[in-house]
């Protein structure tokens, strides 16, 4: 009973600290990560001492990073991941080896015995996946060139952590029995191969069987069990748990349960990531930092500067657009959570001593604390510069007021088709896109695209939202799309909103906000394909078209009927099944009519019908 009470009290402490500190941090423009880190420092062993053993919670907190990597994997279909192989293994290896070599050489030049520069260089070359990806998601950077390059490098670091940990025992003063290293390597490869094979053959069928139970809570439990199982398998063979979860996510990226898994796991990811950042804040040993203040300060400034220099050169070679380079550099210059594991293992094997370990771990933790602060400072500097010289962040940034009747926010594959059709009909829209590289490329094809974030009120005003008639919301990211709709509804209520919905849940969220002109991005393309299939099977083209249009009308009408009930999962499932049966009965009736009167469907197109 006392043990249960201890956990209840600890849980209450974590929740109250987060609730009290994180909103304050956001209010002062510091972001959620700084809030969680500050909350951890406040309640930790070097603050109010409400929690005295942060290591006990770190194992649970690390599961937040695992969930985040699984969800990111869900966004990357295998073909897309394969297309990134050059960036992952090319730029990833250049970053890791370049930073490790530069840091190690500087330490060696300072007269430090060689095992320490090697371990410190490899450990400090790693970056924080948790901090970097969280910041990129908050800033909607994942789809930008800089965001893609940073993600590829972080993914390579997760892979590279495995050989780094295998190298540490070889540096020990007395190398113990070699053991069956080949056996361990083969076991690790077998686990990875088993995950891939099971993902291809079993996972989708298992999820389908669970989904048929009709119990949303069981599906959520299955999603959590899946991630825990993947993490446990990888941990059992001393591989990265986050890498295993990412691999599982990629295998399910093309499944029909992708969005459901994302929706179920997102709340857990946010809470556990917050707990992870709090654990990092609690782990900062201020006694060690105070005892070696000058050393820690010099080491922190030195390794951040060296990594930043290497990353800036890499950003130029990797064609990261100039406006994105400062954030790209700051995100990857910091130390990472895997450095804790590297330094602790090196200490356990007496490659480095305890004092050196404490200094290195404290420096890495401080770098994770300093990075969000540097990003805030960078944002403020950019705002001050924009106030002096205007909101120019790119050679093609929107600086002059526009007056087009249509504004298109997002000019990817969806927005481009809308823009091309408008241009073909003599209507020149104002186009906004936040990917500088995309803007540059499209301008080369003659499109008048402006660089900028459409969710900024000042940019919308400059784009002419006050006088425009229509705003086309074609942004890829669902959260940013809804943010733009909210902004337009509040400040430009006269605008007619034409929105693209990524999926049914996005469609419901748009309808909740009063948007009525919504198109699901895959509906018409899918129906055109189905129509082509019917024609290839011998159906008359006009009849195939009629059936496709009837299916479209039924799908739209059914969504309108489901919309008032979309928060009631049971009612939603029941009505969806009923709608599917109605459509099947309608088509079955027509098939019977066709069989009874084949002459009607043979050569002449069917007469138009009102239903």
Q: Residue holding tokens 């059914």? A: 558
Tokens of 74: 């869900």
pLDDT for residue 306: 92
- Where residue 492 sits, what CATH number does that domain have? 3.40.50.720
- Is 487:455 a contact under the CB 8 Å cutoff? yes
CA-closest candidate to residue 537, choices 604, 523, 596, 529: 529
Q: What is the dihedral of CA 530, 532, 533, 534, to 10 degrees?
A: 90
Which strands, in side-by-side order, build the sheet including 430-433?
449-451, 430-433, 406-409, 470-473, 496-501, 517-520
CA 365 – CA 55 distance, rounded (Å): 14
For residue 39, being part of any structural domain is answered with no
**Measuring CA to CA, how many Å separate 216 from each of 209, 451, 573?**
13, 42, 10
**CA–CA separation, 553 and 545 (whole Å):** 12
Predicted confidence at residue 604, as pLDDT, reads 47
Whether 169 and 305 share a structural domain = yes
Orientation of helix 129-138 relative to helix 258-283, angle to 10°? 120
Residue 491 lies in a domain: yes
CA distances to 556, 562, 571, 582 from 575, rounded to whole Å, are 14, 7, 6, 10
CA nearest 440: which of 278, 308, 324?
324
**Residues whose CB is less than 8 angstroms from the CB of residue 148 and which lie 6 or more positions away in sequence, other chains included:** 84, 87, 142
The tokens of 165 are what? 């940990």
* Whether residue 309 sits in one domain with residue 202: yes
Distance CA(438)–CA(416), nearest Å, equals 11
Instruction: Give yes or no for a contact between 242 and 69, defined as CB atoms under 8 angstroms apart.
Output: yes
Spatial distance between the Cα atoms of 498 and 273, rounded to a whole number of angstroms: 35
Distance CA 541, CA 603 (A): 10
Determine, yes or no, domain membership for 588.
yes
Q: Is residue 156 a part of any domain in this protein?
A: yes
Among residues 504, 521, 538, the one where a domain terminates is 521
Both 476 and 581 in a single domain? no
Q: CB neighbours (10 Å) of residue 252? A: 21
Give the SS3 label for residue 473: strand
The answer to whether residues 561 and 592 belong to one domain is: yes
| Phi-psi category of residue 502: left, alpha or beta, with phi > 0 → left and psi -120 to 50 → alpha | alpha
Residues 254 and 154 in one domain: yes
Domain closes at, from 380, 411, 436: 380
Q: Angle 353-339-144 (CA atoms, 0-180°, nearest 5)?
A: 160
Instruction: Name, in order, each residue with C-beta under 8 angstroms of 464's C-beta and a sequence gap of 6 or more.
Output: 401, 402, 403, 404, 407, 430
Residues 461 and 560 in one domain: no
d(CA 562, CA 571): 9
**Look-up: residue for tokens 């804790």?**
340
507 and 545 in a single domain? The answer is: no
205-236 burial by CB neighbour count: b if 16+ within 10 A, else e?
Answer: eebeebbeeeebeebbebbeebbeebbebbee
**Helix 337-348 crosses helix 145-167 at what angle (to 10 degrees)?**
10
528 and 463 in a common domain: no
Task: State the SS3 of 26-68.
Answer: HHCCCHHHHHHHHHHHHHCCCCCCCCCCHHHHHHHHHHHHHHH
Alpha-carbon gap, residue 296 to 353, rounded angstroms: 16
- What's the domain range around 500? 394-521
**Into how many domains does the chain fold?**
3
* Beta-bridge mates of residue 430: 407
* Cβ pair 378, 312 in contact under 8 A: no
Q: Please check whether residue 20 lies inside any domain of the structure.
A: no
On whether the CB atoms of residues 378 and 327 are closer than 8 A, the answer is: yes
Is there a domain that residue 385 lies in?
no
Q: What is the pLDDT of residue 44?
A: 82
In tens, the pLDDT along 579-607 reads 666 666 666 666 666 655 555 444 444 44
Residue 593: its pLDDT value, please?
60
Using the 3D structure, point to which of 336, 358, 380 is the last residue of a domain.
380
Residues 198 and 302 in one domain: yes
Contact 323, 378 (CB under 8 A): no
397 φ/ψ angles, rounded to the nearest 5 degrees: -70, 150
**Predicted TM-score (pTM) of this structure:** 0.57
Do 512 and 408 belong together in one domain? yes
- Are residues 345 and 399 part of one domain? no
Q: Please answer whether residues 372 and 394 qualify as being in contact, where contact means their C-beta atoms are separated by less than 8 angstroms.
A: no
Interhelix angle 129-138/145-167, nearest 10 degrees: 170
**pLDDT tens string 168-200:** 777 766 544 444 555 666 776 777 777 778 777
Report residues of the chain scoring pLDDT below 50.
1-4, 175-179, 389-395, 600-611
Tens of pLDDT along 18-70? 888 888 887 776 777 778 888 888 888 877 888 776 666 666 667 777 777 77
Indicate whether 28 belongs to any domain: no
Domain presence at residue 44: no
- Please give the biggest Cα pair distance in the chain: 94
- CATH number of the domain to which 245 belongs: 1.20.1530.20
Residue 482, token pair as written in the block:
């809804």
Contact between 26 and 32 under an 8 Å Cβ cutoff? The reply is yes
Statement to judge: residues 551 and 497 lie in one domain: no
């Amino acid at each position: 009973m006392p043990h249960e009470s201890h956990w209840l009290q600890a849980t209450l402490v974590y929740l109250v600290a987060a609730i009290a500190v994180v909103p304050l941090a956001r209010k002062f423009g510091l972001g959620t990560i700084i809030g969680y880190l500050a909350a951890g420092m406040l309640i930790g062993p070097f603050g109010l001492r409400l929690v005295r053993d942060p290591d006990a919670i770190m194992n649970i907190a690390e599961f937040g990073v695992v969930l985040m990597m699984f969800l990111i994997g869900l966004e990357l279909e295998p073909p897309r991941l394969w297309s990134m192989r050059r960036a992952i293994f090319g730029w990833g290896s250049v970053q890791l080896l370049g930073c490790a070599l530069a840091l190690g050489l500087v330490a060696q030049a300072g007269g430090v015995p060689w095992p320490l520069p090697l371990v410190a260089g490899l450990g400090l070359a790693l970056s924080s996946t948790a901090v970097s990806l969280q910041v990129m998601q908050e800033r909607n950077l994942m789809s930008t060139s800089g965001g893609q390059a940073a993600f590829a490098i972080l993914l390579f670091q997760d892979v590279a952590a495995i050989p780094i940990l295998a190298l540490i025992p070889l540096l020990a003063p007395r190398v113990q029995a070699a053991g069956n290293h080949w056996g361990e390597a083969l076991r690790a490869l077998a686990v990875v191969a088993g995950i891939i094979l099971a993902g291809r053959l079993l996972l989708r069928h298992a999820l389908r069987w669970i989904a048929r139970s009709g119990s949303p809570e069981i599906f959520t439990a299955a999603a959590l069990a899946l991630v825990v199982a993947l993490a446990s398998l990888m941990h059992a063979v001393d591989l990265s748990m986050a890498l295993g979860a990412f691999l599982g996510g990629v295998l399910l990226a093309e499944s029909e349960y992708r969005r459901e898994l994302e929706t179920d796991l997102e709340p857990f990811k946010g809470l556990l990531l917050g707990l992870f950042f709090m654990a990092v804040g609690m782990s900062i040993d201020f006694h060690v930092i105070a005892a070696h203040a000058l050393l820690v300060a010099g080491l922190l400034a030195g390794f951040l500067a060296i990594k930043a220099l290497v990353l800036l050169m890499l950003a130029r070679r990797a064609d990261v657009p100039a406006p994105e380079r400062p954030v790209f550099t700051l995100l990857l210059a910091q130390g990472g959570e895997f450095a804790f594991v590297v330094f602790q293992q090196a200490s356990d094997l007496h490659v480095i001593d305890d004092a050196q370990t404490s200094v290195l771990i404290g420096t890495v933790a401080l770098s994770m604390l300093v990075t969000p602060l540097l990003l805030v400072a960078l944002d403020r500097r950019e705002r001050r510069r924009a106030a002096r010289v205007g909101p120019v962040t790119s050679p093609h940034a929107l600086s002059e007021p526009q007056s087009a009747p249509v504004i298109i926010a997002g000019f990817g594959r969806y927005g481009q088709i809308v823009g091309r059709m408008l241009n073909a009909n003599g209507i020149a829209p104002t186009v906004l896109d936040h990917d500088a590289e995309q803007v540059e490329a499209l301008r080369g094809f003659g499109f008048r695209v402006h660089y900028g974030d459409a969710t900024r009120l000042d940019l919308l005003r400059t784009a002419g939202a006050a006088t425009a008639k229509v705003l086309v919301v074609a942004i890829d990211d669902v959260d940013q799309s809804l943010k733009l709709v909210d902004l337009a509804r509040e400040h430009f209520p006269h605008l007619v909103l034409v929105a693209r919905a990524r999926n049914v849940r996005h469609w419901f969220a748009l309808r909740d906000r009063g948007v009525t002109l919504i198109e699901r991005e895959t509906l018409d393309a899918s129906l055109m394909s189905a129509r082509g299939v019917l024609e290839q099977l011998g159906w008359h083209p006009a009849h195939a078209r009629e059936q496709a249009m009837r299916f479209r009308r039924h799908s739209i009408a059914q969504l309108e009927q489901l919309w008032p009930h979309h928060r009631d999962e049971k009612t939603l499932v029941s009505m969806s099944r009923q709608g599917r049966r109605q459509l099947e009965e309608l088509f079955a009736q027509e098939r019977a009519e066709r069989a009874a009167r084949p002459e009607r469907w043979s050569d002449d197109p069917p007469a138009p019908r009102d239903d």
